Amino acid sequence: MSDTVAKAVEKMVAFYEEESTMVVHDVNHFMKVWGFARTIGTLEGLDPETQETLELAAVAHDIACPLCRRKYGAADGRHQELEGEGLTREFYQGFGLPEEQLDRICYIVAHHHSFTGVDGLDYQVMLEADFLVNADESDVSREGILSFREKVFRTATGLRLLDQMYGL
């Protein structure tokens, strides 16, 4: 794990401590999603920069949830899309990330509920990692999992993990 990612994890825990009414849930969620993102990205052979972009996006992917719960009463995809980009940009200020990488991280965070227009492996793996966790946390039915598998999953590693975990 890069120092930058470790720093991001530490800061994300502090962020949820400050902002969230469900700190343990939110921290456990992003740590699991990040773990899958890291694993899939590594096994799929992402180059080091794309891997770091993916991991930094995974750490911060639900950054807008506490604000959306407060402001809109729910953390649905549309509202997260609205708030995610600005919060992510602010969160990663001071990390010294190249502008282009920061833009990409913000884009992935803001779009992690959009399943069309996936334009890179970092984005693709983000979606797969989040679903591997959400399928369990949200008790998604077998049909729901199969349909998401068909529509969204693409990487061999993501597909393998999904099949192994959910007995497909």
The binding site for Fe ion (CB under 5 A) comprises 62, 130
Q: Which is nearer to Fe ion, 37 or 102 (CB)?
A: 37
Of 55 and 62, which CB lies nearer to Fe ion in the complex structure? 62
Nearest approach in angstroms of CB 96 to Fe ion is 26
Question: What b/e sequence results for 131-145 when a residue is b if at least 16 CB atoms lie within 10 Å of its CB, and e otherwise?
Answer: bbbebeeeebeeeeb
The smaller minimum CB distance to Fe ion, of residues 44 and 62, is found at 62
Output 25 or 160, the one with its CB closest to Fe ion: 25
Q: Minimum Å distance from CB 20 to Fe ion?
A: 13
Which pairs with CB-CB distance under 8 Å and at least 24 residues apart come from 116-124? Answer: 118/154, 120/50, 121/41, 121/44, 121/46, 121/50, 121/54, 121/155, 122/41, 122/46, 122/50, 122/53, 122/54, 122/57, 124/154, 124/155
Least CB distance from residue 114 to Fe ion, whole Å? Answer: 13
**Least distance from Fe ion to the Cβ atom of residue 87, Å:** 14
